[in-house]
Structure 1
Amino acid sequence: MVTMFWFALAIDLIAISLLSYVLYFRRHGRRDLLLAYVALNTGIFAVVSMMTGQEVALAVGFGLFGVLSILRLRSDLISQGEIGYYFTAIALGLINAVAISAPWVLLGLNALLLTVMYVGDHPRLLSRHERRMLTLDAIHEDPVALRQDLSARLRAQVTRVDVIEVDYVRDLMVVDVRFRVPAPTAPPARSGTAARWEGR
Structure 2
Amino acid sequence: MPVESIVGYNLNLGRTVEFFISFVLNSLVIFIIAKYLYFRIRRNKDYLFTLSMFNIIIFFICYFLSSIELSLGFAFGIFAIFSILRYRTETVPIKEMTYMFIAISVAIINAIASASVVLIEMIFTNAAILGLTYILEKAWIKNEKKQKIIYEKIELIKPERHEELLKDIQERTGLKVNRYEIDKIDFMRDSAHIYIFHYD
TM-score for both structures, normalised by structure 2: 0.60
**Separation in structure 2 between the aligned mates of residue 58 and residue 121 of structure 1, nearest angstrom:** 36
Q: Does the residue aligned with 1:38 lie in a helix, a strand or coil?
A: helix
How much has 1:63 moved relative to structure 2? Answer: 3.7
Paired with 1:128 and 1:27, the residues of 2 have a C-alpha distance of 11
SS of 1:56 mapped into structure 2: coil
TM-fit CA distance, 1:17: 0.2
2:36 matched residue in structure 1: 22
- 5+ residue gaps, structure 1, are 137-149, 159-178, 182-200
Q: Which amino acid aligns with 1:28?
A: R
Q: Give the counterpart letter for 1:45 in structure 2.
A: F
Separation of aligned partners in 1, 2:18 and 2:73: 21
Q: Which amino acid aligns with 1:107?
A: I
CA 1:15–1:53 in structure 2 vs 1: closer, same or farther (change >3 Å)?
same
Following superposition, the deviation at residue 7 of structure 1 comes to: 0.7
* Cα distance in structure 1, aligned partners of 2:145 and 2:73: 39
Query: How far apart, CA to CA, are the structure 1 residues paired with 2:59 and 2:23?
Result: 8
Amino-acid identity (%): 18
Equivalent residues in 2 for 1:1-200 (5 A)? Answer: 1-51=15-65, 53=67, 56=70, 60=74, 62-75=75-88, 76-101=90-115, 102=117, 103-122=119-138, 127=143, 133-135=166-168, 153-154=173-174, 181=200
Unaligned runs of 5+ in 2: 1-14, 147-164, 177-197
Count how many residue pairs are aligned between Structure 1 and Structure 2: 144
1:133 partner amino acid: L
Is the Cα contact below 8 Å between 1:96 and 1:106 reproduced in 2? yes
Aligned Cα root-mean-square deviation (Å): 3.2
Counterpart residue type for residue 127 of structure 1: N
Larger Rg: 1
> CA separation of 1:69/1:53 partners in 2, compared to 1, >3 Å: closer, same or farther?
closer
